[in-house]
């Protein structure tokens, strides 16, 4: 069951990822990215990361992608025009990409010690309780610094999106 779920959602993730790169219109890419994120949320759940799966759906697929789609709509972004480098990308880019993935896969298979099989339910610390306990004790300082980062990001976004610039 775990293997079937993994294969289905890994296939969805890779398919949507390829679609993201291949599509010319940004809105198609954005919707593919939502597909990738939803599939990854299911994989997080299989790995026992309940909180992260929920956060992935709410923060990434919910908030960030709405921001992207909103910007695409606001700027009325159309399909990108064709360039003269498309053939070059197809001839050298695709083999380079496949070579990169095969190399990483080979390194993972050879360098990593024998990894165990992922069985759903054997790791149950990834709940909101488990993550929160760690976040508010051991990682309290980084968590507080994060609030500063978000404050600066809000100010930056407001300043950059003003009328006068």
Chain positions 63 to 102 lying near another protein, rule: CB under 8 A, are: 63-64, 67-68, 71-72, 74-75, 77, 80-81, 83, 89, 93, 97, 100-101
* Residue 8 interacts with another protein (CB under 8 A): yes or no: no
Write the CB contacts of 27 (distance below 8 Å, at least 6 apart in sequence). Answer: 69, 72, 73, 77
By CB under 8 A, residue 149 contacts another protein:
yes
Integer angstrom CA distances of residue 64 from 21, 54, 57, 151 = 19, 14, 10, 17
- What's the min distance (Å) between Cβ of 34 and another protein? 10
What whole-number distance in Å separates Cα of residue 78 and Cα of residue 83?
15
Q: Kindly tell me which residue out of 8, 42, 52, 57 binds another protein, with binding defined by CB under 8 A.
A: 52
Q: Which of residues 16-45 bind another protein (CB under 8 A)?
A: 17-18, 20-21, 26, 29-30, 33, 36-37, 40, 43-44
Least separation in angstroms between residue 22's CB and another protein is 9
Could you tell me how many residues of this chain bind another protein (CB under 8 A)?
Answer: 79
CA distance 132 to 152: 24
DSSP 63-109: IIHHHHHHHHHHHT--PPPP-TTHHHIIIIIHHHHHHHHHHHHHHHH
- Binding track, positions 99-138, relative to another protein; x by CB under 8 A: -xx--xx--xx--x--xxxxx---x-xx---xx--xx---
Calculate the CA 123 to chain-centre distance.
Answer: 22
Least Cβ distance, residue 74 to another protein (angstroms): 7
């Amino acid at each position: 069951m775990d293997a079937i779920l993994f294969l289905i959602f890994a296939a969805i993730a890779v398919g949507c990822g390829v679609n993201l790169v291949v599509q010319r219109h940004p809105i198609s890419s954005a919707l593919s990215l939502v597909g990738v994120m939803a599939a990854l949320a299911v994989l997080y759940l299989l790995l026992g990361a309940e909180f992260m799966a929920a956060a992935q759906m709410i923060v990434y697929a919910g908030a960030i992608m709405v921001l992207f789609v909103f910007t695409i709509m606001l700027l009325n972004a159309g399909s990108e025009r064709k360039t003269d480098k498309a053939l070059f990308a197809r001839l050298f880019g695709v083999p380079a990409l496949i070579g990169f993935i095969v190399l990483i896969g080979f390194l993972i298979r050879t360098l990593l010690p024998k990894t165990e099989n992922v069985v759903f339910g054997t790791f149950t610390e990834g709940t909101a309780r488990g993550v929160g306990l760690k976040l508010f004790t051991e990682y309290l300082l980084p968590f507080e610094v994060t609030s500063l980062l978000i404050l600066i990001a809000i100010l930056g976004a407001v300043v950059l999106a003003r009328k006068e610039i």
